[in-house]
Amino acid sequence: MLNYTILKRDRRKFLALTGLTVKEFQSLLPAFTEAYSGTSQSGRTLAGRRRKRQLGGGRRGQLAPMEQKLLFILVYQKTYPLQVVMGELCGMSQAAANQWMHRLLPVLQAALSAMGVMPERDGRQFARAERSLGEPQEYIMDGTERRRHRPKDPEKQALHYSGKKKFHSDKNIVLVHTRSKRVGYLSPTHTGKKHDKKLADDEHIAYPRKAILHQDTGFQGYAPDVQQTHQPKKSRGAKS
Please count the other Cβ atoms lying within 10 Å of the Cβ belonging to residue 48. Answer: 7
Boundary (domain end) residue, out of 88, 115, 142:
115
Rg (CA), the chain: 21
| Closest CA relative to residue 69, chosen from 59, 61, 80 | 61
How many whole angstroms separate alpha carbon 190 and alpha carbon 181? 23
Left (φ > 0), alpha (ψ -120 to 50) or beta: where does 155 sit? alpha
Do residues 3 and 70 make contact, with C-beta atoms less than 8 angstroms apart? no
What are all long-range contacts of 226-233, with beta carbons under 8 Å and residues at least 24 apart? none
- Asked whether residue 21 falls in the same domain as residue 104, the answer is yes
What is the pLDDT, as a whole number, of residue 232? 85
Co-location of 94 and 21 in the same domain: yes
In this structure, the answer to whether residues 26 and 43 fall within a common structural domain is: yes
159 lies in the same domain as 226: yes
Give me the pLDDT at residue 51, please.
Answer: 66
pLDDT for the residue numbered 44: 59
Chosen domain end from 67, 89, 115: 115
Residue 5 CB contacts under 8 Å (≥ 6 apart), including other chains: 67
Summarised one tens digit per residue, pLDDT across range 85-135 is 999 999 899 999 999 999 999 999 999 989 888 899 999 999 998 888 878
Residues 67, 38 share a domain: yes
User: Please, are residues 63 and 2 in contact by the beta-carbon 8 Å criterion?
Assistant: no
User: Rounded CA gap, 86 and 185, in Å?
Assistant: 29
Check whether residue 138 and residue 222 sit in a common domain: yes
Q: In terms of C-beta distances under 8 Å and separation of at least 24 residues, what long-range contacts does 46-55 make, across chains too?
A: 46/103
Give the pLDDT score at 16.
94
Which residue range(s) make up the domain with 73? 4-115
Same domain, 73 and 152: no
Q: Give pLDDT, residue 93.
A: 92
96 and 9: one domain?
yes
Q: Give the number of domains in the chain.
A: 2
For residue 28, the one-letter residue type is L
pTM check: above 0.85: no
Q: φ and ψ at 31, to 5 degrees?
A: -65, -40
Cβ atoms of 172 and 144 within 8 Å: the answer is yes
Q: Which parts of the chain sit beneath pLDDT 70?
A: 40-48, 51, 53-61, 234-240
The verdict on 155 and 73 lying in the same domain is: no
Last residue of a domain, one of 71, 95, 115: 115
